[in-house]
Amino acid sequence: MFVNNKLKEIGMKKIIFIIGIIIVITGFFMENLAQPFAPWAKLSGDAPEEINARKYPVPSKDEVGVPAYPGAVISSVSAPKQDTIKYEQEVMAFVNLVTSEPSSSVISFYKKILTNDKGWNYSEEYKTFVKGQTQNALTGFIPTVKIRDESGDNYDLVYVDPNFKKNLKTRIEITYKRSE
């Protein structure tokens, strides 16, 4: 009887342990699965309702395939595929980010991630990472990560909170292949 109870106790501990592991793993995958790529930039109080609605969906981290710069926020995203179907060739989707960090920090971050062994090349002259050969960067049909200085005067920042906008230093323009 004592042995039987001991076996039951050990069996229950194993079951509880396995359930705990399943909960942790499920939580990890749920946390990382389909997470929005980055948050939107904070809007000013006078932003029109159609701007506040932000109807275009934010892509997931997996969709973009390139990480957002830590702390960067979205200033604009491309229209959904169904809204761009009229183009003869597939148009690369894009997400534009802005940050108060200097471009040199952003470039350093992406140089560690977008490496040659992963198929990325960097053009110092254009401050652009290209998936493939750099001479193809201007075609608009291959993934790129462009780093630009930001003044806060871009069209997609018109309704962004002025207190946030005044500190912006860098724009990150990421183009990526849409998932089918």
Helix (H) or strand (E) run with residue 50 in it? helix 49-53
**Which helix (DSSP H) or strand (DSSP E) does residue 147 occupy?**
strand 144-149
Distances from the Cα of 10 to the Cα of 24, 30, 68, 94, 129, angstroms: 21, 30, 46, 54, 55
Query: Do 96 and 40 touch, CB atoms closer than 8 A?
Result: no
Taking the C-alpha atoms of residue 84 and residue 178, their distance in angstroms, rounded to an integer, is: 12
Altogether, the residues listed in the chain come to a count of 180
Alpha-carbon separation of residue 18 from 5, 23, 33, 84, 90 (angstroms): 20, 9, 22, 47, 46
Report how far residue 178's alpha carbon sits from residue 180's, in angstroms, rounded to the nearest whole number.
Answer: 6
**Alpha-carbon span 162 to 46, nearest angstrom:** 11
Element (H, E) at 105: helix 103-113
pLDDT at 31: 47
pLDDT tens, per residue, the chain with 180 residues: 555 565 566 666 777 767 766 765 655 554 445 577 899 999 998 888 888 777 788 888 888 999 999 999 999 998 766 555 555 556 688 999 999 999 999 999 999 999 999 999 999 998 999 998 776 666 667 899 999 999 999 999 999 999 999 999 999 999 998 775
The pLDDT score that the predictor gives to residue 35 is 73
**Is 114 within 8 Å of 129 (Cβ atoms)?**
yes
